[in-house]
Chains A and B, each alone.
Chain A
Amino acid sequence: EAGVTQFPSHSVIEKGQTVTLRCDPISGHDNLYWYRRVMGKEIKFLLHFVKESKQDESGMPNNRFLAERTGGTYSTLKVQPAELEDSGVYFCASSPFVNSPLHFGNGTRLTVT
């Protein structure tokens, strides 16, 4: 089966611009998660979708971040406007059930200059 796929693998944008990250989970996985690793720090939870609904978005840093999962398939994470501190690696993960192991994508490395 195909794994979790993230696009793009790298993105370099200027402060104030908008960037949209995409995640395609493993087919049939209802649970989709976004995590972020800022340079030198921990990987932090951002939010959790169950199908198209946001189950937990307690980790979203501020209202410049918008996550969607239309139709319960792929998900997008938009940052608008981007700030320097948004630079990092954004990971997506999926799982079939809440209590099953997460399958992570390779991540999107975002650099804001």
Chain B
Amino acid sequence: GDSVTQMEGPVTLSEEAFLTINCTYTATGYPSLFWYVQYPGEGLQLLLKATKADDKGSNKGFEATYRKETTSFHLEKGSVQVSDSAVYFCALSEGSGYSTLTFGKGTMLLVSP
């Protein structure tokens, strides 16, 4: 079955540091890929998505590129802020829909001033 593997956390960075959170996936078809973020005390929010190979999703300074050859969708940000502290989840769904998502375990990001 489908699966998503993302790096263990927590990831601890200083403000303005560069962020990478690795995500790789296994899927039988051609999935859509997502990053969700959960800020403390809140629900999951869609951060960005990509629906086909070589697509780049971006939002709030975060980027991720759908790499079919390496089955990866790594999340990057050039300069993190304290307000980016949250748990980040990589996810996929088969086809172009959102309905049945397969998530990774989540990576906690802690940014200090």
Contacts and interface: CB of A to CB of B under 8 A. Distances in A.
A83 B100 CA distance: 25
Task: State the majority secondary structure of interface residues on B.
Answer: loop
A44 interface: yes
Contacts, number: 60
A91 interface: yes
Interface string A75-113: 000000000000000010101001111111111000000
Q: Interface extent on A, as a size class?
A: 20 to 34
Interface string A27-38: 000010101010
B105 A102 contact: no
Interface residue tally on B, bucketed by range: 20 to 34
A95 B43 contact: no
A95 B101 CA distance: 13
Contacts of B91: 43
B31 interface: no
Interface of B: 4, 36, 41-46, 49, 89, 91, 96-106
**Closest 3 A-B residue pairs measured CB to CB?**
A104-B43, A104-B44, A43-B103
Interface of A: 3-4, 31, 33, 35, 37, 40-45, 48, 56, 91, 93, 95, 98-107
